[in-house]
Structure 1
C-alpha cells in the first residue's frame, strides 16, 4: 500500500476487494489502530486510529473469531457489552435474527464454524459506533445469518461508514463504493 490515499467521508458500504496479499486485511488493521503506517496518517472521525479515543468511534471484526471455548454464547455477548460499555441486551437482542437463540446457553466449543462466526460478528458490533470495519463476514455463514447480516449492513450504511473487506458479496447486498487493491509487485 505505497502512496495510498483513501477517504471515506459519508455513510455507506465501502467494499474493499482484491486478491490475497493485496493489503485488504492490512487496511483493516490500520483502521483498528493495531498497525501503524510507516508514513502518513490513518484518521477516524478526526482521531488518530492508534489513539485510545478512536476505540469509541470504531467496531472492528477480524476474520478469525477469538472465542473462549467454555464460555456460553450469552456470556460472550455480556462480556463484549461490558467491555464496550453498553447494555447487556445490545447483543442478546440480535440472537434470534442470526439463528443463535437456541444456542444461548451453549459453550462456544459446541458451535459450528458458521455459528462461531455469527457470535463473533455480534460481539464485535455490539457497540453503536460510527465506523464498522468487517473482514470476510460471509465465510461459512448460512442463509439465515447472511440475511441477518445483510439487513444490519444496510441499516448501518444508512448512518455509518461500513468498511467491508470481502472477496465476494451476496447479490442482495447493495454496495455504495468499491475499491480494488492490487498486490505489490
Structure 2
C-alpha cells in the first residue's frame, strides 16, 4: 500500500512539474518539430525574427476552432513585422483521431494556413512550455541571450467572438515589444480544451 501511495505521489509531482512550465522572463527552449509539409521547423530557422507567437492548438477542440481565424489574423498582421506565428499541436491522436498528422495536413491546406503547423509528437515541448490548453499562447522576444517569454495565456478575453470591446492580449503584447516596451499584461488564464496527454 505504501509503495502504491509513493508511486501516486510521484506521479502527481511529475504532472505538477509539467504544468508549471515557463514563467514570464524565462528563456524558452528551441525545438525541431515536423511541419505539415514534412519538413522540420525550429525557431532558429527564422534568422530575421524579432520574436514569436507560439500557439499550442489542435484540430478538434471547439475553442481552437473558435480562435482559428484569429490565429490566422495574427499571422497576417505580424509575420511581416517579424513576429511569426508558430502553431503546435501537442495532442495524443490516439485519444482524438481528428488531431492526427494527416488531419493536420488537411486542416492546414483547407484553411490555407500561412504559418507552420507543427506536431509535438512526444509532447515534450508542450510540457517544457507548460501549455495546458488549446489554444495556449506564448509570446517570445528574441534577445542576445535567447528567446525570452514575455506573455503567456489567452489570445483575448472574448472566447465567444461577440465582444466588440475585447482586450487583445497577444496583439497588445507584441505591439508593446515592437515599441521596445514591456507588455502591460504579461499573464492571463488560457481558456480552451485540456491538452490530451498520452497515457504513461
Q: TM-score scaled to structure 1, two decimals?
A: 0.24
The structure with the largest strand share of the pair is 2
